[in-house]
Amino acid sequence: MTSGDASPPILRSFGRRDAKTLGLSALGGALEFYDFVVFVFFAKTLGALFFPPGTAPWLAQLQVYGIFAAGYVARPLGGIVMAHFGDRLGRKRMFTLSVFMMSVPTLLIGLLPTHAQVGALAPLLLLAMRIVQGIAVGGEVPGAWVFVAEHVPRNRVGIACATLTAGLTAGILIGSLLAAWINATCTPAEVQAGIWRMPFVLGGVFGFIAVWLRRWLEETPVFVDMRERKQFARQLPVKTVLAAHRPAVVLSMLASWQLTAAIVVIVLLTPTLVQTSFGIDPATAFRGNSLATLALIAGCLVAGWAVDRFGVGCALLAGSLGLGLSAYALYGTLVSGNHEQFVGWYALAGFCCGVTGVTPALMVAAFPPEVRFSGLSFSYNVAYAVFGGLTPPMIAWLSTSWGAMAPAHYVAFTCLVGSGVAIYVLLKRPLRH
């Protein structure tokens, strides 16, 4: 593993141009992640409209979630292909292409005919759009981290990556709040009659605006220098990654495992788990989730500051311990019956999920510039596809033997993995930007 520079070799101050690059990148990331996740907030409506009327509700829901999951399966493919060209043709081109590839299918989902109009073709078109979305987000997330890290001064890589991560989280929050507002102000019949299309059409339009805004961004100084020196990988970048940087891949995938546990279990699954296991009413569950997601944005920024101030190892170790303890505090409080404290503990757990803001800084520093995009993209997307896909059924299975505390035990185990990565970094490869 190398600690290759993530920015130009001359240490400089963080300037207005850096702020503009970071702001436009975070905005585009927020809009793109909104496009990717808004699908799940309208899964029930999509299940009713895109499958035969006689389909059992649970089966239609299962089929829609299967289409939703297809986006995750497509992420590694998109990440590998787009990262290959990002390491050969430039970060900016792929950074802009990923937003465009997300905007088109999101807009088209909002315009798709339903099963009542075109029959079995409707779910197939929906699946095709979801796969394209998955390919796009597979290139966007790692590409965005590399892009901002290679633009800012070396001692600001942590906060740059964390700000981008906070922007992605803001996209999830926007989608959640918009869905909540629509469901609160419109009847189910009105939503099915056509209101459901609005979030997708808006997402597509805003995505095109993000594409236009990204035209003002410049290629990263690191890639410009690499192009001038003709310092490209001599073979396929991903092949070089797997042949010469396996330790960095393993380290990055282990850190990404903790990231998926934090996001999938604490942010995405907990609202449903607390309703089914502890009898929390839906309004309280989703109010807690909104506050936790907002706290996650703040937690990411604090984690990024800690990376630049204390180094990747220290920030990851402290964040991992905090996440594990807060997960136990959240679920332990629920098990003890103190449901009135749920929202507060959920907000704290959301804040501690901010340790996810450390992971991109670690991965950026783990790979040299000539294969950085490919190395980060392969490690992150494969880990997310495997661990993210297995986590929901694993939590369900563990709950049968470990009881209601199973989600906390699982998150705590991944925090031990994250702590191990942090200790390795501190003892073997001190990654400090």
Check: CB of residue 182 under 8 Å from CB of residue 191. Answer: yes
Angle subtended by helix axes 121-149 and 57-88, to nearest 10: 40
Calpha distance 152→6 (Å, rounded): 8
pLDDT beyond 80 at 431 = no
Q: If pLDDT is split at 50, 70 and 90, which confidence band does 3 have?
A: very low
pLDDT beyond 60 at 252 = yes
What pTM does this model have? 0.82
Using one digit for the tens of pLDDT, what is the confidence trace for 313-345? 999 999 999 999 999 999 999 999 888 899 999
Q: Would you call 324 helix, strand, or coil by DSSP?
A: helix
Question: Which two three-digit tokens encode residue 146?
Answer: 């590399």
pLDDT beyond 80 at 157 = yes
Tally of residues, the chain: 433
Residue where the block lists tokens 């396929």: 236
389 or 378: whose pLDDT is higher? 378
DSSP string, 59-83: HHHHHHHHHHHHHHHHHHHHHHHHH
Angle subtended by helix axes 16-41 and 91-109, to nearest 10: 30
How many Cα atoms within 13 Å fall on the side-chain side of residue 264?
25
Residue 350 CA: distances (Å) to CA of 22, 214, 298, 327: 23, 30, 9, 9
Can you give the pLDDT at residue 2?
A: 47
pLDDT beyond 90 at 113 = yes
Residue 432 main-chain phi, psi, to 5 deg: -135, 125
Closest CA to 424 of 313, 258, 311: 313
Calpha distance 130→106 (Å, rounded): 8
pLDDT above 70 covers a percentage of the chain that reads 92
Check: CB of residue 389 under 8 Å from CB of residue 69. Answer: yes
Can you give the pLDDT at residue 423?
A: 95
Check: CB of residue 362 under 8 Å from CB of residue 253. Answer: no
Q: If pLDDT is split at 50, 70 and 90, which confidence band does 58 have?
A: low
Can you give the pLDDT at residue 125?
A: 94
What is the mean pLDDT of the segment spanning 238-265? Answer: 91
pLDDT beyond 70 at 13 = no
Using one digit for the tens of pLDDT, what is the confidence trace for 382-430? 998 888 778 878 887 888 888 889 999 999 999 999 999 999 999 875 4
Can you give the pLDDT at residue 325?
A: 97
How many Cα atoms within 13 Å fall on the side-chain side of residue 29?
28
pLDDT beyond 90 at 15 = no
28 or 51: whose pLDDT is higher? 51
Closest CA to 4 of 217, 223, 159: 223
Using one digit for the tens of pLDDT, what is the confidence trace for 33-43? 788 778 877 87
